[in-house]
Amino acid sequence: MSQSRLDDLFAYVEERCLWQFFSRTWDREENIEGVLNQVCRLLTGQEPLRGTPQERLFYADALAMANDVRERFPWASQVNKEEIAFLIDGLKSRLVDVTITRSTNRELNHHLY
Amino acid sequence: MPMVLLECDKDIPERQKHIYLKAPNEDTREFLPIANAATIPGTLSERGCAFCGAKLVIGGVLKDTIQMIHGPLGCAYDTWHTKRYPTDNGHFNMKYVWSTDMKESHVVFGGEKRLEKSMHEAFDEMPDIKRMIVYTTCPTALIGDDIKAVAKKVMKDRPDVDVFTVECPGFSGVSQSKGHHVLNIGWINEKVETMEKEITSEYTMNFIGDFNIQGDTQLLQTYWDRLGIQVVAHFTGNGTYDDLRCMHQAQLNVVNCARSSGYIANELKKRYGIPRLDIDSWGFNYMAEGIRKICAFFGIEEKGEALIAEEYAKWKPKLDWYKERLQGKKMAIWTGGPRLWHWTKSVEDDLGVQVVAMSSKFGHEEDFEKVIARGKEGTYYIDDGNELEFFEIIDLVKPDVIFTGPRVGELVKKLHIPYVNGHGYHNGPYMGFEGFVNLARDMYNAVHNPLRHLAAVDIRDKSQTTPIIVRGAA
B212 touches B224 (CB < 8 A): no
**Where are the strands (E) in B388-440, listed by range?**
401-404, 419-421
Residue B409 is inside which H or E element, if any? helix B406-413
Q: Is the pLDDT of residue B145 over 70?
A: yes
In angstroms, rounded to a whole number, what is the distance separating the alpha carbons of residues A94 and A88? 10
Write the CA distances from B179 to B150, B236, B311, integer angstroms: 21, 15, 36
| Contacts for B30 with CB less than 8 Å, ≥ 6 apart | none
Contact: B292, A113; criterion CB under 8 Å: no
B349 CA to centre of own chain = 22
Write the CA distances from B174 to A65, B72, B151, B167, B340, integer angstroms: 37, 21, 27, 15, 20
In angstroms, rounded to a whole number, what is the distance separating the alpha carbons of residues B331 and B455? 21
Give the mean pLDDT of chain B: 95
CB atoms within 10 A of CB B74: 11
B240 touches B213 (CB < 8 A): no
| Contacts for A27 with CB less than 8 Å, ≥ 6 apart | B266
CB-defined contacts A:B, below 8 A: 86
Contact: A14, B279; criterion CB under 8 Å: no
CB-CB neighbors (< 8 A) of A113 in chain B: 185, 262-263, 266-267, 270
B31 CA to centre of own chain = 26
b/e string for B451-473 if b means 16 or more Cβ within 10 A? ebeeeeeeeeeeeeeeeeeeeee
- Chain A interface with B: residues with Cβ < 8 Å: 14-16, 18-19, 21-24, 27, 53-54, 56-57, 59-61, 63-64, 97-99, 102-107, 113
Which of B27, B297, B364 lies at the smallest CB-CB distance from A57?
A: B297
Q: How far is B445 from chain A (nearest CA, A)?
A: 29
Q: How far apart are the first and last CA of chain A?
A: 41
- Bridge partners of B66, per DSSP, are B132
Q: Is the pLDDT of residue B234 over 70?
A: yes
pLDDT in tens, A63-87: 999 999 999 999 999 999 999 999 9
pLDDT in tens, B8-56: 999 999 999 999 999 998 888 889 999 999 999 989 888 999 999 999 9
Work out the average pLDDT over B72-81: 92
Q: Is the pLDDT of residue A2 over 80?
A: yes
In angstroms, rounded to a whole number, what is the distance separating the alpha carbons of residues B218 and B206? 14
Amino acid at B435: G
Work out the average pLDDT over B347-373: 97
| pLDDT score for B310 | 98
CB atoms within 10 A of CB B11: 7
Residue of A nearest to B252 (CA): A53
Which of B32, B258, B294 lies at the smallest CB-CB distance from A105?
A: B32
Contact: B296, A63; criterion CB under 8 Å: yes
In angstroms, rounded to a whole number, what is the distance separating the alpha carbons of residues B232 and B227? 14
| pLDDT score for B471 | 63
B255 touches B276 (CB < 8 A): yes
B168 touches B178 (CB < 8 A): yes
Determine if the peptide bond prior to B338 is cis (ω within 30°): no
- Chain B interface with A: residues with Cβ < 8 Å: 27-29, 32, 36, 185, 251-252, 258, 262-263, 266-267, 270, 273-280, 289, 292-294, 296-297, 345, 364-366, 369-370, 373-374
pLDDT in tens, B329-358: 999 999 999 999 999 999 999 999 999 999
Which of B263, B275, B366 lies at the smallest CB-CB distance from A53?
A: B275
Residue of B nearest to A19 (CA): B278
b/e string for B360-389 if b means 16 or more Cβ within 10 A? bbbbbbbbbbbbbbbbeeebbbbbbbbeeb
Contact: A19, B262; criterion CB under 8 Å: no
Work out the average pLDDT over B380-400: 96
Amino acid at B119: M
- Bridge partners of B402, per DSSP, are B332, B419
B33 touches B20 (CB < 8 A): yes
A9 touches A76 (CB < 8 A): no
Confidence of residue B429 (pLDDT cuts 50, 70, 90): very high
Which of B206, B260, B278 should be substituted to probe chain A, the one whose Cβ sees the most A Cβ atoms within 10 Å?
A: B278
Which of B252, B266, B275 lies at the smallest CB-CB distance from A23?
A: B266
Which of B280, B297, B365 lies at the smallest CB-CB distance from A60?
A: B297
Instruction: Residue B423: name the closest of B466, B361, B468, B368 by CA.
Output: B361
**Where are the strands (E) in B302-449, listed by range?**
330-335, 354-360, 380-383, 401-404, 419-421
Q: Is the pLDDT of residue B457 over 90?
A: no
Q: Is the pLDDT of residue A99 over 90?
A: yes
What value of ipTM does the predicted structure carry?
Answer: 0.98
Contact: B277, A57; criterion CB under 8 Å: yes
Which of A14, A53, A105 lies at the smallest CB-CB distance from B373?
A: A14
Q: Write down the pTM of the prediction.
A: 0.96
In angstroms, rounded to a whole number, what is the distance separating the alpha carbons of residues A42 and A62? 8
CB-CB neighbors (< 8 A) of A56 in chain B: 275, 296-297
Q: How far is A50 from chain B (nearest CA, A)?
A: 9
pLDDT in tens, B179-203: 999 999 999 999 999 999 999 999 9
Contact: B273, A54; criterion CB under 8 Å: yes
Contact: B29, A98; criterion CB under 8 Å: yes
* Residue scoring higher pLDDT (B474 or B300): B300
Amino acid at B260: S
CA within 13 Å, CB half, B110: 8
Q: What are phi and psi of B331, to 5 degrees?
A: -125, 145
Q: What are phi and psi of B210, to 5 degrees?
A: -145, 125
Contact: A104, B280; criterion CB under 8 Å: no
B89 CA to centre of own chain = 22
| pLDDT score for B470 | 63
In angstroms, rounded to a whole number, what is the distance separating the alpha carbons of residues B436 and B135? 35
CB atoms within 10 A of CB B193: 14
Provide the residue count of chain B.
474
B251 CA to centre of own chain = 25
